[in-house]
Amino acid sequence: MLFRRSAPRAQAPRLSAGDLVQIDGCPVRLAVNRRARRISLRLDVARREAVATAPSLQALPQALAFAHVRAEWISARLTALPQPVNLAPGMMIHVAGRPCRLERAAMRVRPTLKPPTMDEPARLLASGEGAAFSRAVVRGLRAEALARLTARTQVHCSSIGRPTPTIALQDARSRWGSCQAAGDARPAVIRYNWRLILAPANVLDYVVAHECAHLVEGNHGPRFWALVRRLYGDPAAARAWLKQHGASLHAVEARA
């Protein structure tokens, strides 16, 4: 009696952390977080993609399946994101909550922020064409952000009796600031998202107060929030502003 060999089963593709898949035309990034207790789904606003996170590599298929189930939610959230805004001459943006017009300088100069006058809003002068101009604008914004963030950090550190830590800028995708407290042979470091310069001054100041409070309290317990309120006041409005408008800040970008 002859037996026909059965055709081999097609194996499902092996999934890895970092894989980017398309679900109904929407990009979904697979991720593994071993501290996670369950599968989760969130938006990466800066990358304009969803992130399906599993607690282990073995659970990535379940995370992908969950993303398929929530395909309609993913599509709606990505569609609602603000469209990318390329920085170009003549554009009006906000710097520390005030209108600022981008202007191309007549000659090659360091990006310079000119204060407003009675007749004109603030102006940010930058040289270059196309992508070079937008990158120069970002350099100017970063310089202004570093100056303002440093000044406010010094004020709040003075209030809590702590030395001003090393301050650095970043373009984090999921947070506006981070604090690394001083260790045995390690100085304290606070990193701020440079895009805070595009937010109102009081919102920027809230993030600074938040991170400075972490120099004293390393968690988000009652004593931490009591210190934030002592430094800044009620943070509810600033937190709500970031939640509502944070995607718009991330939409501002320099052309590659």
Looking at the domain assignment, is residue 208 inside a domain? yes
Whether residue 2 is contained in a domain is answered as: no
Same domain, 131 and 223: yes
- How confident is the model at residue 254, as a pLDDT? 65
Residue 161 lies in a domain: yes
- pLDDT value of position 80: 86
Same domain, 115 and 58: no
Question: Largest alpha-carbon pair distance within the chain?
Answer: 99
Q: Is residue 14 part of a domain?
A: no
Domain CATH for 147: 3.30.2010.10
- Could you tell me if 38 and 133 lie in one domain? no
User: What pLDDT sits at residue 66?
Assistant: 93
Looking at residue 9, what is its pLDDT? 54
Residues 119, 229 within the same domain: yes
Q: Are 161 and 233 contained in the same domain?
A: yes
For residue 43, give its domain range. 20-80
Q: What pLDDT score does 11 carry?
A: 54
Total structural domains in the chain? 2
- d(C-alpha 69, C-alpha 35), whole Å: 24
φ, ψ for residue 170 (rounded to 5)? -145, 175
Do 165 and 186 lie in one domain? The reply is yes
Task: Show which of 80, 95, 111 is a domain's final residue.
Answer: 80
pLDDT of residue 5: 58
**Which of 46, 80, 114 finishes a domain?**
80
pTM: 0.79
Asked whether residue 35 falls in the same domain as residue 106, the answer is no
154 and 72, same domain (yes or no): no
Q: What is the pLDDT of residue 166?
A: 94
> Quick check: is 179 in a domain?
yes
Per-10-residue mean pLDDT, the chain, length 256:
53 78 92 90 86 92 93 91 87 93 89 90 92 93 96 96 94 87 83 96 97 94 96 97 91 71
Residue 31 lies inside a defined structural domain of this protein: yes
Q: Quick check: is 1 in a domain?
A: no
The pLDDT score that the predictor gives to residue 7 is: 52
Domain match, 50 and 147 both: no
> Is 8 domain-assigned?
no
In this structure, are 57 and 103 located in the same domain? no
Are residue 207 and residue 171 in the same domain, yes or no? Answer: yes
Q: What secondary structure does DSSP assign to 135-195, as a single string? A: HHHHHHHHHHHHHHHHHHHHHHHHHHT-PPPEEEEE--SS-SEEEE---SS---EEEEEGG
Residue 214: predicted pLDDT: 96
User: Which pLDDT score, from 0 to 100, does residue 1 have?
Assistant: 47
